[in-house]
Chain A
C-alpha cells in the first residue's frame, strides 16, 4: 500500500514538471508571435499567384509530353519485341514485376528507417 502511494505521488510530480516545461515552452513560443513580420503588398501576392500558375501549367505540359514520349517508346519496343523477338518479350514481362516489387520494398523500408 505504502509503495503504491509513493508511485502515485511520483507520477503527480512528474505531471507537474511536464506542465512546467510545457508552460515555459508556450511562454517562449508566444514571444516569437510578437515578432514583427513584414507582409508584402497585395500586388506582390497577385504577381506571385500568376507566376506560380504559369509555372505549374508549363510543368504540366512538359511532364505530359515526356510521359507520352516515354509511353510511345516503351509500347513500340514491346510491340516490336512481341512480333520479332518473343524471348525478349517474355523476359521483359518477368523482369518488370520483379523490378517494381524490389523498388517498392526498398522505398518502403527507407521510409520506415527515416521515420524511426
Chain B
C-alpha cells in the first residue's frame, strides 16, 4: 500500500490532503462525465471526499485508490439523483447536458453529438457506459459498485449503446437496405 495512504489511515491530516489534491482533477472530471454538469460535479467531489474520510478504514489497497474513489463517487451521484427525485427537483433527462454544452461553447470547443446522446440516457444506463467504455472497468466491478448483477450491467450498456446509435443515426441506412433485400427475396 502507498505510504501516503497508510499515513492517512493512521490519521495523518496532511497525508489525506496530499492524496485528495493529487486525485481531485481526476475525480472532478469523472463526475463531470457522469453528471454532465461541472457545478454538480464539484459539489459531489466534496461529498465523495467526505465519505472517503469516514470510510478510509475500509480501503484495503487491493484496488487503486482512484478506483476506490470512483466507486464512492458513483454511489454519491446515484444517491444524489434519488434525493432529487424524492424532493421532486428532478428536471428530466433533457436538461442534463445543457450546462456541459454551454461550457463547451464558452470554450469555443465543438460540441459532440455523442455526448448529447449520452446525456439523454437515464442515469443507471449512462454511468455504466462511461465506466465500461471510457474507463475500461469490468462488468463485475461496475455491478459491485452499483449493487446490481454483472448481467444487468451488460444489458444496460448494450441497450444504452443501441440508444446512442439510434440518436446518432448510425446504421440506419444499412439496416434499411437489409430489410429491402429480405423483402425482395
Q: Which residues of B contact A48 (CB under 8 A)?
A: 17, 20, 46, 49
Tell me whether B29 and A35 are in contact (CB under 8 A): yes
Q: Which residues of B contact A17 (CB under 8 A)?
A: 165, 170-171, 174
Among A28, A37, A42, A53, which residue has its beta carbon within 8 angstroms of that of B53? A53
The tally of CB-CB contacts under 8 A between chains A and B is 116
Tell me whether B114 and A52 are in contact (CB under 8 A): no
Q: Which residues of B contact A25 (CB under 8 A)?
A: 114-115, 117-118, 129, 133-134, 164
Asked whether A102 is an interface residue with its Cβ less than 8 Å from the other chain, the reply is no
What distance in Å separates the Cβ of A3 from its nearest Cβ neighbour in chain B? 9
Instruction: Give the bracket for the number of chain B residues in contact with chain A.
Output: 35 or more
Q: Which residues of A contact B70 (CB under 8 A)?
A: none
Asked whether B24 is an interface residue with its Cβ less than 8 Å from the other chain, the reply is yes
Among A31, A42, A43, A45, which residue has its beta carbon within 8 angstroms of that of B112? A31
Q: Which residues of B contact A13 (CB under 8 A)?
A: 171, 174
In this complex, what residue of A is CB-closest to B49?
A48
Asked whether B168 is an interface residue with its Cβ less than 8 Å from the other chain, the reply is yes
- If A39-B21, A39-B25, A56-B54 touch, whether A45 touches B118 (CB-CB below 8 Å) is no
Query: In whole angstroms, how far apart are the Cα atoms of A39 and B49 in the complex?
Result: 14
Tell me whether B29 and A28 are in contact (CB under 8 A): no
- If A39-B21, A48-B49 touch, whether A29 touches B115 (CB-CB below 8 Å) is yes
Q: B74-93: contact bitstring with A at CB < 8 Å (1 yes, 0 no)? A: 00000000100000000000
Tell me whether B109 and A46 are in contact (CB under 8 A): no
Q: Which of B11-49 contact A (CB under 8 A)?
A: 13-14, 16-18, 20-21, 24-25, 28-29, 32-33, 38, 46, 49
Among A14, A31, A53, which residue has its beta carbon within 8 angstroms of that of B171? A14
What distance in Å separates the Cβ of B8 from its nearest Cβ neighbour in chain A? 9
In this complex, what residue of B is CB-closest to A56?
B54
Tell me whether B53 and A52 are in contact (CB under 8 A): yes
Asked whether A6 is an interface residue with its Cβ less than 8 Å from the other chain, the reply is yes
A-B contacts, 12 listed (Cβ < 8 Å): A6-B181, A13-B171, A14-B171, A25-B114, A25-B117, A31-B112, A31-B115, A35-B38, A45-B17, A46-B17, A48-B46, A52-B49
Pairs A-B, 7 closest by C-beta atoms: A28-B112, A17-B171, A45-B17, A24-B114, A28-B115, A46-B17, A28-B114
